[in-house]
Amino acid sequence: MSGYLAGVLAIFCINLIFAYGIFVTAAAGQINLGGAGFQAIGAYAAGWLAGQAGLPIAASIMTAALITALVGLLISFPALRTRGVYMVLATFAFGEVVAGFLLHTDVFGGAMGMVVPLHVDLWVLVLAATFVTLLMFFLMATRLGLAMRAINDDEDASVVMGVNVRAVQVAAFTIGGALTGLSGALYALNFGFVEAQYFNALLSIYVLLYVLIGGTQTAWGPLAGTVFFTMLPELFRVGGSARYLIFGIVIVLMMALRPEGIVTRALISRLSPRRLFATGGARGN
């Protein structure tokens, strides 16, 4: 595999894990625009633990994920007291606070960034992305996942049916924090360098688009959205600077034609083997 393809695949795997971290909260009816902040915490935590504390790679990654899970748990309580656009602004402010803190903290390299001495190979990223993807499909099939879907569809009806909305959303923030932190840890250990400027508001917006364009109704959504946003720009690269215009037009068309996302529950139902078999049998009769 060429270095270019390996780099694209590495970014895809990291983005996919990142997208699933944001998907968990979106599936529970909450928009998290602070994804870059969580990823930054995971990246800097793994980088510091691997470089300064001398922990091995596996311990650095797991500890970084646990730290961001704890941050997600703590942030969920004040964040969930807000609604709608105020929720978006609260998570956005969190991301900006994290970036500002890291930018002005000499322990983590400040504006110069931080070098990470240890390195993870591409196969680790592929294995982690595969595990997280399968985990998300499993999660959405559990009682917690069904509760998330119910809250996303109709929060008031979920309360009537006995769903503890606050507990489910706190769990979603905690799991989402762990996954975004994991993506940050893998980013730091794969690229060997982190800087606060990378984890900006634009990154949070991009990863949220991965989820919204892909769809929040099923675990296929973030996968489709990540493929769309990671691979499509590479295909348009031959168009030079015009690729940005083309890509923007494609995004607008997708939002207009598929407002609920590329992959929806209705689409999955129509494409299910049982449904296709039944349709084919009906036509044959």
Angle 3-27/201-214 helices, nearest 10 degrees? Answer: 80
Residue 69 half-sphere exposure, CB side, CA atoms within 13 Å? Answer: 11
Tokens representing 108 are 């983590």
Q: Which residues pair with 34 in a beta bridge?
A: none
Task: Tell me which CATH code domain 3-284 carries.
Answer: 1.10.3470
User: What does the H/E/C string look like for 24-67?
Assistant: HHHHCCCCCCCHHHHHHHHHHHHHHHHHCCCCCHHHHHHHHHHH
pLDDT given for residue 237 in this prediction: 67
pLDDT given for residue 141 in this prediction: 92
Tokens representing 65 are 């994920």
Distance CA 150, CA 143 (A): 10
Distance CA 179, CA 181 (A): 5
Please report, in tens digits, the pLDDT of each residue of the chain (285 residues total).
677 788 889 999 999 999 999 999 999 988 889 999 999 999 999 999 998 888 999 999 999 999 999 999 999 999 888 888 888 899 999 999 999 999 888 888 888 889 998 899 999 999 999 999 999 999 999 999 999 989 988 888 888 888 899 999 999 999 999 999 999 999 999 999 999 999 999 899 989 988 988 888 889 999 999 988 887 777 766 656 666 677 778 778 887 887 788 888 777 877 766 554 555 555 544
- Can you spell out the DSSP letters for the chain? --HHHHHHHHHHHHHHHHHHHHHHHHHTT-----HHHHHHHHHHHHHHHHHTS---HHHHHHHHHHHHHHHHHHHHHHHTTS-HHHHHHHHHHHHHHHHHHHHT-GGGTGGG-EE------HHHHHHHHHHHHHHHHHHHHSHHHHHHHHHHH-HHHHHHTT--HHHHHHHHHHHHHHHHHHHHHHHHHHHSEE-GGGS-HHHHHHHHHHHHHH-SSSTHHHHHHHHHHHHHHHHGGGGTTHHHHHHHHHHHHHHHH-TT-SS-HHHHHHHSHHHHHHHHHHHH-
Cβ neighbours around 227 below 10 Å, total:
16
pTM over 0.85: yes
Cβ neighbours around 61 below 10 Å, total:
27
pLDDT given for residue 130 in this prediction: 96
Q: Which residues contact 168 (CB under 8 A, 6 or more apart)?
A: 28, 144, 147, 148, 151
